[in-house]
Structure formats: structure tokens, C-alpha cells
Structure 1
Amino acid sequence: MKLTNPDHTRGILQALAAAALFGISTPLAKMLLGSMPPLLLAGLLYAGSGIGLSVWMLLRRLRGHAITEAALTRRDAPWLAGAVLFGGVLGPILLMLGLVYTAASTATLLLNLESVLTAVLAWVVFRENVDRRVFLGMLAIVAGAALLSWQRQSAHTMPWGALAVAGACLCWAIDNNLTRPVAGGDPVQIAAIKGGVAGAINITIALAIGYRFPHIGPLLATGVLGFFGYGLSLVLFVLALRNLGTARTGAYFSTAPFLGATLSLALFAEHAGPAFWLAGALMAIGVWLHVSERHEHEHAHEALAHNHRHHHDAHHQHTHDFPWDGEKPHTHPHVHEPVIHSHPHYPDLHHRHGH
């Protein structure tokens, strides 16, 4: 039986939109480093994300909009706590430190390492399928990132800025894999919690060290940048995780650095030498190998009970004990019966089988 799933296309578009928002946020964040220290900037970016998304949820309730997303449960807490620690606290601090010592265009392209490290962790630790094409794409991205890391360093200088950015990528790779188990929950709630908690922790540390809030202009600009570049981007990323799995979502998200690097060259009048363009070409090849993958084979679905936003497709053919118009997406606990079929698919919420 051949099936098509429009959720896969939607997931690709969501991942690319998330990449665009995050990609342009990196060079813009570098512009704000002149008005505040890296630690405080990281905290304010996430605070802007958490506050903005919390207001969004509040307005959604006040307007009486029906909630079609599954709420988080107590079982999600350990996964979310780990994601906040690595992705919301350690990752942003390392990135802001890296931006101090690294050209914005170089730092932005180095963020491609996040997709590679995300895929490696998904493959090795969480046993998500990553085939030969995805692996070759990762090698191309690693080669480009390695070239960028050393292109502007002398023989006797360690690329501390590049290493800090790479450390941020590792933290976010861990974050991505820890977020996947809770991706069936409300993405706005997930992103609001991560942003609010991470922002509060980073700001508290910054104030304890002795830093002070910037003037109102940079403060508001940072909050707005955090809402779009971190908050809304994360909402879209979580939605993509549902439909594509961790490694593939990370691959599509790796287009972010190309957008950010282009903006960096325009904003900071940075010189892009041959090594920069060669690294960009290698990364482009890697991304193309990822996005052009087609994965199809006969596979078995075991019985599964869970709760997430869905519409009725080949994987959702259950009955309801409440009124439903037969069209609109809805949320409720439901059971999947065992089935064997073949169609193109990614490791989404319903395709986490072995190979």
C-alpha cells in the first residue's frame, strides 16, 4: 500500500522557517554585544522568548480559541529540564562568548555543526535511523566547519571563539534530542517554559556577577529578537520534530547559517575569502544530500497509545466518544492498532522502528 503524508512537507517548511528565524538572529545578536555582556544578552534573548510566548498563550485563552495541542505532563519534566539546561543555559552562553572572538559570518556558518552533532546523537544514542546519504551529508558539513574553524587562525593560536561556538552546537544537539520525546506536546508551551526558565537563570547569574540591564532601546530590541529568533523559531522546530524526527529536522535547520552568514557580510562589511566560500559550498552539498533523501520500505507499526494533535490519515483511523466534524485537527488520547505497510516516511512520532 502506497501512502503520501502531507505532514512531511509541512515539517520541511516548518524546519526551514525555524532556520530562517534563527539564522538571522545570530548576526543581529552580535550587534547587541556592544551594549551588554554575552551572559546578560543570552538571558534577555531567552526571556524575550519566554515572555512573548506566554503572552501569546494568554491571549489565545482570553480570545477563547480552542486548544488543539496536548498539554505537557509530569512524565515530560525530566526531558524538558535537560533540554533547558543544555539548550537554554549552556548553549546560549557559549554562543555569545564565541561571538566575542569570532567573526559573525564565520560563527554563523559554524552553527552547521549543530545538525551534524544532532544526527550523531540521534543515531548513536537514541537509535534513530540515519542512512548513508545522511551520513555523507554530515561529512561534508563537518569538512566545511573544520575549514572555517582554522581559516583565520595563526599556527600558534587556538581558535577559542570557534571552539565556543562548537560547544554551543553540542549543547543544542543534546537539547534537540531531549526535546524529541516531548514533541507531541504543545510547542508554544514547550518553548515558553524553555525560554522563561533559561532566561531567568542566565539573567540571575549575570546580575549576581555585577552586570546591569542596558538602556530601554537595546533591552526592547533584545526581547523582540529573542521572541522571533529563539521563541517562534523553537515552536516551528518542535513542530518539525514531530514529522521528520531529530536528525532530519536538524539537517533542514542547518540552512540557518547560510542566511545568517549572508546577513553578516552585509551588516559588518566582513571580507569573505576563498576558504569561506569553499566551506559554504561543502556545507551546501551536505544540506542537499540531507534534504534530497527518500526513505521508503515495508515497516510494521506496533500497538501504540499516546496523545498529540492529529487529523485522520492512514495512521489515525480510530473512533471518538465526542463530536468531531471529520476535518479539523484535534487532540485526545488515542490508540494505534498494529499495521504493516510501505510508504515514504521519516522517523516521526509514528515511525521509530528499527532497520
Structure 2
Amino acid sequence: MPVLLQGLTSLTDPVDRDIAVDLPGLAGETVRLDARGWLACPSLYDADTFLPLDGGGLRDGDVETALRGGVSTLNCSVDWHRFTDPRERGPLLSLAGCSRLPSVRLLPTAPPDGDNSGFPAWLAGFAGEAADLPVLKACKLYARAPDFARNLEAVWSAGWLAMVFVQDARMVADLAESGGRICFRHATSVDDVAAMRGSRQGTRIATSPQYLLPLPADTRRNLVVRPSPLSDEIRAPFARDVLSLVDVIATDHVAPGATAGPGLRLQQHFLPALLALAEREGLDKAALLDKAGASAAAVFGAEHRDGVAILAPRSAGGTAPEIRDPEREPFSAALFTHEVVAIVSGGSAAATPAFGKFIR
């Protein structure tokens, strides 16, 4: 169904604009909607997610979650062992090569509690053929794993980016200064960033919305996430200077069934949360979204299926969904003024369920 949205406020254009959206699965003649008060924003690149990818595919619920968060491209962590199984390798690579809205980028991962004894040998061989494969030239590692130093050297020997999680940012102060490319996950404070960067050239820093927006004290304490969000006294200066402190903002979203470990269900709030952060701290919206867009993709040397995310005022759509799992969900949708109703990218368009209430 062709839908003409008239009078949207553009984040990147000083004048209001009209956007034509051809939504698959909806039949009928062109519908014209008064979209004054709606927003048109760049869609996002979520650089850190955990999704099951059962059978090498995205579940409908995970697609909906990405669209609701304004995400048109995402990195999905994949245990490196899955690439050694021919039954899984083919479907995974097919997904990465053919996925649409969201496009999936595969991020090989050495899990912190698994058997990684064969990881260096596997990576040495895989890296040799990966130039022609739809896989990120990056690996996710965990500093608490006993084989971390060996695995880090293997990633650097392959010429790949190491995406690293450390529970204590001070652990990385003495990391080999002459090592390869590295991106540290989950900075939570100004002090974290200083410890992670040290004197190292080319270090990249990532953070997530739960470390930038204020949370009630009980919520902070009870979230199943590493590291835990800190107090407002520590969070506030970090949030104010986030544009100069970090290179990547990602969600660390864990979909249901993806892992029993820590992690939040946050991707559905990604774009609304960043817009709320920009309003709260007086940050440049376009520059902030770039940290979760083209700049994030560039850190991973990845192509970003960028597009336009369309947001409608939440008040127009009635009540917000309830928080179903408070230990995994830090934000209520009711905190945000707008919700994503569609993403347009190239010749493709996809709508969230929220779009239907405007064309009945």
C-alpha cells in the first residue's frame, strides 16, 4: 500500500518533508497522512546484539524489535564454533549476505565460559578465506576468560578488530601498547574512558543507553547486566560529554532465548532513547545518532544499510507497552515522546505494528 506522509520534521533537513512509503502486505490505494509532529531520522546501526539465529534466520519478533528501535543494520554475536559446523555455517552466511531490514552482520565471538582451545587455529584459517565472506573482520572477546591474552593475539595476528569486554576498566591500562585494533565495550564513566584509552593510539570506546540515561535506584541495582549502571553523580558528566568520549553507542541487546547470561532487552527503545538523551543533555541529535550509525559501522569496517526511520508522537497511539521483564528491560516506552512506526531504506520499507493504527 502506498502511503504519503506529509509534513514530517526532518532531523537532517531544515525544512519539513514528505515521504512516500510503499508498505508490503497492505493492499489499497494511496493513503495520505498528516504527519506534522512526526520525525524523520537516520536509521541506526546496532553494533552489539545477541540473537538466536535459529536455523540461520531472524525470528519475526527479533525483526519487529529492531524496527521498533529504528535499526536497519545490526551486528549479531555468533559463537565461533557455529562456523565450524557445516549445517550452521551455510545458513548463517546466507543470512548475512541476503538479509533486509534489518541487515545482519555476523560478529564471531569467543564465549567467556566455553572451550576456546581451538580458537587461534580456527581464526587463522577462517581469516584467510573471510575476505570473500559476509562476516565482519572483528571478534568479540572477554577479558575474564582464562585464554583472553592468547585469543587477543590471535585476533590481532589476523589483522582483525578485537571487541573486548572488561569488568574493571583499570585492567586495560597496561594492555600491550603495540597491539592491533581494539574497541572496548561498556564504558560507564569518564574515568572508564581514560583508563581504556590510556596512551594507546586508535583505541575505540563503546557504551550503551543504560549508562547514559538516568534510572531509578532500584532499577539500577536489579538489572541483569555487566557492568551495572552507576549513580547519577557518575553518569551525568559522562552523558554530557558522550560525543567527545565514545566512538560507538550500541545496545548490547539480548533477545529472549539467545543466552542465559547477562544483558538487556533494549533494542526496541534504541532510537527513542537516543533522542531523549539528546534533548535531556542538549546534544546535537545528528552527531549523537551518528555514534549509532555511520561512525559505528566505520569502526567495524562494515557497510551500513542506512535509511530513514519514521517516528510518530507516542501520545497519538495510546498507552505504552508494559515492562514484561524488569530485570532485563531498563526503560518503559512511556518515557519517550515518539515511537518508530516505519523504516525506509533504498527500495525497501518495513512498518512496525504501531503504524497500522494510523491507516485504519
Answer yes or no: same fold by TM over 0.5: no
Query: Which has the higher relative contact order, 1 or 2, with Cα contacts under 8 A spaced 6 or more apart?
Result: 1
Which structure is higher in helix share? 1
Normalised-by-shorter TM-score class: under 0.3
Q: TM-score, normalising length from structure 2? A: 0.23
Which TM-score applies when normalising by structure 1? 0.23
